[in-house]
Amino acid sequence: MTYHSLREFIDRLELDNELIRIKERVSPVLEIAEITDRVSKQPGGGKALLFENVEGSSMPVLINAFGSTKRMNAALGVHDIEKIARDIDKYLKIAPPATLVDKVKLLPMLLEAAAFPPKMVGQNQAPCQEVVLTRDEVDLDKIPVLQCWPDDAGRFITFPIIVNRSADRKLRNVGLYRMQVYDKKTTGMHWHIHKDGAHFFHDYRKQNKVMDCAVAIGADPTVCYSASAPLPYGIDEFLLAGFIRKSPVPLVKCKTVDLEVPATAEIILEGFIDPSEMRLEGPFGDHTGYYSQDGDYPVFHITAITHRRNPVYLTTIVGKPPQEDLYLGRATERIFLPLMRTQLPEIIDIDMPAEGVFHNLVIVSIDKRFPMQARRLMNALWGMGQMSFVKIIIVVDQNINVHDSHTIISLLLNKIDLQRDLFFSEGILDVLNHASDRALYGSKLGIDATEKIEGEEGFDSEPDTITTDPLPAPEPILEKYTELKSCKFIEREGRHRIAFATLDKTCPHQGRRVIDKIMNDQQFSAIDVLIILEGHEEVNNISTVLWKLLNNIDPKRDTYYFNNRLAIDVTRKTGEQGYMQEWPEEIEMSEEIKKKVDEKWKKLF
């Protein structure tokens, strides 16, 4: 089943017992985010939430709508997201027809494909323009925009579908970029430097031309997903939505700007961006689990707000994983696998673990046929679209299940030669990466966990004997190195023995000094890999440790070798260590809001 509007999807969620209507009065400032954060971290992602009594607005708020595997499948009209990947693969593999019979066989497919492009509809068929507000009627304060986290710079529209065209009007871009609300008629436009929206903006800036812009909030689920998808430059996201839903996305002409928007959306913001005007935007609690840094971004001036009668405000929160965006990201992981294979046919499967927040870790299995193929693949991925932002890539053989974390950990503990199989590179990084010395670029790590074949180093050599000697207890290391707060050893047999330790860091370079002392101490020579984290970390929560490790290291700078042993410094870096960015704070809700939500929790559900 596919949905022509968000409202149809809400009906389906209610029918499937996937929606909770919350009638208790709640505030859009922090309270909704705290409630949603707790629900989204329940097993399986919790339920979608519809807040019907929101302070300061008559609009209900829908959130966590896509926050589970079941709801994500339903949103895209399939029982299994893999069906969409198979459909894409089918079109990619169409052979040129050689005979009349071949041409006839293609007709059903071609007729289906004819329904993919968007279609224009009249204003009488556009519910998004049932109410039209212009000039002094424009008032963003009437929309229940959330403040998600205590140190956010204000309220942010977090699920806006932003539509614009290139300066020559030939290309359309549809993307998701957060928008900080400045006042009733203006917002920020957070275009990351590497994204298509920013590319278009810079063209307008060069020509000193004002840029039309429109924002749809609460479109049908396929449009909401497609706006988040990492499509190649120049490919229309509305076309992808039409492909997924197998029917065209109806678009309507805006009232005050020369753009087209989804006709069945709940709310439309129309306006313009003057490329000569920039304004400080942020900070914002982002999907990395940290506050992203503030910076100067374009300003969006709203000329009209149109909406349905009694609109629903669709929004989301991001923060420490897992959140709703995990399931949107997993859909992308599966849907775009066939497209990746068109350029790299050796790829079997791919996994982006939640702890890697999309751009910090990717695990890839390949059909390996020649020496150094894994390293070739890493370099290829680091040059491919949004995969170029990935910090760490692990490559495994085709028989390895990349989605089985226990198998991957066992492989890393037993098969890796710490010097031979780790490959450091450099390149661009996501603007949200805070670990590199400078913004936007830094080092990357590739780990070749494939079996060595003839022609590769290690093919003829015997593997190291698995260590069976017991690791020392944590107490001796804590007694000897008093600046450590806690210590944990991975209790698994394997070629490599791993220790996590937390450090009360009081001065620059302290992490490195502690690493040198421990790794050169014969008493602890059984430790093959030592990972040093900040003193407040909980070393018994391996998922959190992995999330911190992936977020907080620049691989080349923070990895230290001791022959065939290594240590990793995951602690906060400072300017004295050559670090030129501002190390962000972790996202944490205020105790006051936690207490308020505790008090009303039973009334909510």
The residues annotated as belonging to the active site are 286
pTM: 0.92
**What strands lie across the sheet with 529-534, from one edge to the other?**
484-489, 498-503, 529-534, 565-569, 559-562
- Please provide the average confidence, as pLDDT, over all residues in the chain: 92
Q: For residue range 336-354, what is the model confidence (pLDDT) as tens digits?
A: 999 899 899 999 999 999 9
Rounded to an integer, the average pLDDT of 544-549 is 93
Residue 118 CA from chain centroid, whole number: 27
Query: Residue 200 and residue 126: Cα distance in Å, rounded?
Result: 27
What the chain holds in terms of domains, given with CATH numbers, is 6-97+106-314 (2.30.110.10), 344-448 (3.40.1670.10), 474-573 (3.40.1670.10)
pLDDT tens track for 523-542: 898 899 999 999 988 888 88
Contact 444, 426 (CB under 8 A): yes
Q: What average pLDDT score do residues 535-557 get?
A: 92
pLDDT value at residue 389: 94
Distance CA 15, CA 207 (A): 52
φ, ψ at 111 (rounded to 5°): -65, -40
pLDDT of 508 reads: 87
Distance of CA 375 to the CA centre of its chain: 25
Reported as a single tens digit per residue, the pLDDT across 230-279 is 888 888 999 999 999 999 999 999 999 999 999 999 999 999 999 999 99
- Please check whether residue 40 is in contact with residue 322, taking contact to mean a CB–CB distance below 8 angstroms: yes
**Secondary structure (3-state) at 586:** strand
pLDDT given for residue 467 in this prediction: 56
Helix, strand, coil content of the chain in percent (nearest 5): 30, 25, 45
Question: What is the structure's pLDDT at 253?
Answer: 97
pLDDT of residue 98: 65
Conformational region of residue 56, where left means phi above 0, alpha means psi within -120 to 50, and beta covers everything else: left
CB count in 10 Å sphere of residue 159 = 24
**Mean pLDDT, range 434-458, rounded to an integer:** 93
Q: Would you tell me the crossing angle of helices 82-92 and 237-245 to the nearest 10 degrees? A: 110
Instruction: For residue 283, say if its preceding peptide bond is cis, omega within 30 degrees of 0.
Output: yes
9-58 per-position pLDDT tens digit: 999 999 999 999 999 999 999 999 999 999 999 999 999 999 999 999 99
For residues 446-462, give the mean pLDDT. Answer: 88
pLDDT number for residue 564: 85
Compute φ and ψ for 112, nearest 5 degrees: -65, -45
- Chain centroid, CA 207 distance in Å: 33
